[in-house]
Structure 1
Amino acid sequence: MYALVTGGSRGIGRAVSVKLARMGYRVIVNYMSNDAEAEKTLDMVRQAGSDGELLKFDVSNTEAAREALESWMKAHPEDYIEVLVNNAGIRKDNLLVWMEPDDFTKVLSTNLFSFYNVTRPLLTPMLRHKYGRIINMASLSGLKG
C-alpha cells in the first residue's frame, strides 16, 4: 500500500507522512527543494515502522508532475498509489491591491493547480483498482482570504 504526500518534507506534510507510516502505508514523500528535510521525514517514516521513498518535483509544474508520477508508476508496475494527500502549498499573504501578479500566479499554481497536476495521473490506477483516497488540505489563509 502506497501513499503520496505532496509537500511532505516539513510541517503538516511531515506529520501526515509519519501517521500514514504508522497505519502501514509505504509513504512517498514529495518535496521541491529541501533535500535535508525530505531525508529527515523519510527517516521518521522508517522509525514509525514503515518504508518510503522521496519523489522530488514541483507540483505547480504540470509536465514535471506528470513525468515524475509516470516514472514512479513504470518503476512500480505491480503497485499503485492508493492514498494521495494534496498538502503542498505556499503562502504569500498580501492585500490584493499590493499583491504582485507573479506572486498571485505562483500561489494559484502551487495551492490550486497542483491538485490537478498531481491527481489526474493517479486517477486511472485508482479507478482500475476500484479503490483510492484523495485528501486535499487547505490553509485558513486559503479559506478565509
Structure 2
Amino acid sequence: MSRSVLITGGNRGIGLATARVFAAQGDKVAVTYRSGEPPEGLFGVRCDVTDPAAVKAAVEEVRIQHGPVEVLVSNAGITRDQLLVAMEDEDFRAVMETNFLGAVNVAKEVTTDMVKARWGRMIFMSSMSGMAGAPGQTNYAASKAAMIGFARSLAREVGRRRITVNVVSPGLIETDMVKDVTDARRDFVLGQTALGRAGTAEEVAAVVRFLASDEAAYVTAGVIPVTGGAGVGH
C-alpha cells in the first residue's frame, strides 16, 4: 500500500538516495530542501527546518498533496567543523538548531496525525560521531547525540499507538558532506572499520527502508549503526 513519506534534506546525499528507494516501491514521497532546486521526479517543499512556522506550512502542503505523513525520515543536517576553542558561537548554535532542533520541529508536527492514525514510522539520521565523538565536531556530535535521547524518549511516548521511532547512525558515507574530510581523517576512520571501506548512501537507505516497513514493527528506540564495523562497542 502506498504511504505518505516525508524526508527532510532529501535533495542530496543520503536523503535523496532514501527518497528514491521509497519512490521506487510506490510510496508518495515528499522531500524538503532549504536551497537549490528539488530533485527531478520528486515532490519538493522548500523548508527551513529551524523555523517552526515553515515546518508547519511544509507539513500541511504534504498533507494536501499526499495525505498525512505516515513515514518521517528526519535527515536535514549541516556541518561547521572547527576545534571548540576556535569555533564561533554562531556555528555551534546553527548546527544544533538545524540538526537537532530541526528534527524536533518536524517530529512534533507529524506526531499528531500519526497518533490519530494509530500507526507511523519515524527514522532519525544520527551519526557515528554522536556515539564516539570526533575532533573538530563538538557541535555536530552534540547535535547527533541529542537526537538519540530524543528519539528514544519519543518512542516511549508514542509506542502504544503503533508508532515506532528509530535512529540510524551512519559512519563514513560517500556524500558531498564528507568531501572536505582530510585524507588523514579519512584514513583514520577507514582504519577503524571492519570492512575497510566507506559506505554508500544507498546502503544507508536500505536500512531506513527496513525500519519503515511492516517487518520492523517490533523495532523501536533502536540505534542502528551503518558504519562498516567502525565504532564497535560505542
Shorter-chain TM-score tier:
0.7 to 0.9
Letter of the aligned partner of 1:56 in structure 2?
R
Match of 1:122 among 110, 113, 118: 110
2:80 aligns with 92
Secondary structure, aligned partner of 1:28: strand
| Identical counterparts, % of pairs | 38
Secondary structure, aligned partner of 1:121: helix
Letter of the aligned partner of 1:18 in structure 2?
R
Secondary structure, aligned partner of 2:112: helix
CA drift at 1:39 = 2.9
User: 8 Å contact 1:84–1:134 — kept in the other structure?
Assistant: yes
Secondary structure, aligned partner of 1:27: strand
**Bigger-Rg structure (1/2):** 2
1:57 aligns with 47
Q: 1:135 to 1:20 in 2, by over 3 A?
A: same
2:17 aligns with 15
CA drift at 1:26 = 0.8
After TM superposition, the structure 1 = structure 2 runs for residues 35-114 of structure 1, keeping only pairs within 5 Å, are: 35=37, 38-40=38-40, 43=41, 52-73=42-63, 75-76=64-65, 79-114=67-102
Deviations 1:48-75 (A, max 9, x none): xxxx4111110111221122223433x2
Secondary structure, aligned partner of 1:58: coil
* Number of aligned positions between the proteins: 131
1:48 aligns with none
Structure 1 unaligned spans of 5+: 44-51
Structure 2 unaligned spans of 5+: 134-140, 142-234
After TM superposition, the structure 1 = structure 2 runs for residues 21-32 of structure 1, keeping only pairs within 5 Å, are: 21-32=23-34
Tell me the TM-score normalised to structure 2 length.
0.53
Which of the pair has the greater relative contact order for Cα pairs under 8 Å at 6+ separation?
Answer: 1
Letter of the aligned partner of 2:53 in structure 1?
E
Superposition RMSD in Å: 1.6
Tell me the TM-score normalised to structure 1 length.
0.83
Cα distance in 1 for partners of 2:25, 2:119 equals 17
User: 8 Å contact 2:62–2:69 — kept in the other structure?
Assistant: no
CA drift at 1:140 = 3.1
